[in-house]
Amino acid sequence: MAATTFTTTGDAEFRDTVRAWCRDHVPRDWRQAQTGASDAEFVEFQQSWFRQLREAGFAVPHWPAEWGGGMSVAEQVALYQELAAHDAPRLVLPFVSIHHAASTLLGAGTDEQRRRHLPAILDGEIWCQGFSEPGAGSDMAAIRTAARRDGDAYVVNGQKLWASGAVHADWCLLLARTDPDAAKRHGISYFLLDMRTPGVDVRPIRQATSESHFAEIFLDDVRIPAANLVGPENDGWRVAQQTLGAERGMTMLELAERLHHGGFRWLVDLCAQPGPNGARPLDDSRVTDRLAQLETELTGLRLLVADFVADDHPGAADASVVKLYYSELLQRLMDFGTEIGGLAAQTRLRKPLSSGWESACWALDFVGSWEWTIPGGSSEIQRTIIGERGLGLPREPGGTR
């Protein structure tokens, strides 16, 4: 059984250019080199790979042309398909920078903020996201980190949790409550925080996969210049929706392609290998039925994402549909890979950094896949959004609108 070819519109010459570039530039041994790599080696590799993509014009295809992007949707589809097909490393370290930070700056930042940070991101400036807190994970409206205006600055106190890449970050997208008496969603402001500011304390969180991708951020009388406020004061909830929308747009296009060309392809290869008893899982009709189901779901995901990113006016719940579909399909696929892999899949406990969630270390990938059904709005919250905003169902007390 082989994965079907997913066809899209696009310029054949551009696709050939990307394909040739990938053959010449994708490191052949990067997975081996990144397995067991030190933190410093991971950072150096990610920065080096980002520079190569930037020099080729492939690092930020979704940005406007004036800032180094400007690719059409069809070209972006072709780019991500070829990067996935050639097993190019994932941009894990700059992920928040080139997607969440850039989307926020382009949509709600001032001209000065854009001029300061967008070129710096292309030069390697790393960003993290300070949204979640203890007791306010998926429910951003429940945040308690407080920001008090003091002259030309805001003084911030509080704690953030599950900040991806915060250990390496230069800057942080920060939400803080500026009006404690306002309704929950109307008293939040959005800031750009320099992580070198006195009073910022970052502590890594060791995960079940043995990695420390996440961190806690403690803020003790941290002064943020008022010029670093994004959007009007107390309008941070609206700005944050733009940030989260970035994670469900072009980022999903790349992730869907990688799940197809990486996770599913490796799963099919795994099923074609003889097990301990000499039999191939692929010869079991129950296995082929599951593979057919997963492939059908993957094709649907890829078409759904392609339609979403091509739509200039997506529906109010479309981003939630995409996020929910991808995260739960990712989980099911990694679960099946762990099941098929048997004991060997349970004991392979080192995966290459820079691989993201599709490393073929099935048990670790399965554990890591749960990350996607919780942050950025849990699956339960996505279903509520779909019901309220997409289907027009009555809003429950404490709903999302």
Catalytic residues: 247
What does the alpha-carbon distance between residue 120 and residue 215 come to, in Å, rounded to a whole number?
Answer: 23
- State the DSSP code for 247: T
What does the alpha-carbon distance between residue 305 and residue 256 come to, in Å, rounded to a whole number?
Answer: 8
- CA 40: distance to chain centroid? 22
β 146-150/127-130 pair status: unpaired
Supply the angle between the helices 285-310 and 318-347 in degrees, to the nearest 10.
140
Dihedral, CA of residue 270, residue 271, residue 274 and residue 278, to nearest 10: 150
**H/E element holding 6?**
none
Residue 195, helix vs strand vs coil = coil
What does the alpha-carbon distance between residue 96 and residue 341 come to, in Å, rounded to a whole number?
Answer: 32
171-194: b (≥16 Cβ within 10 Å) or e: bbbbbbbbeeeeeebebbbbbbbe
Contact 365, 263 (CB under 8 A): yes
Residue for token pair 């989260």 = 244
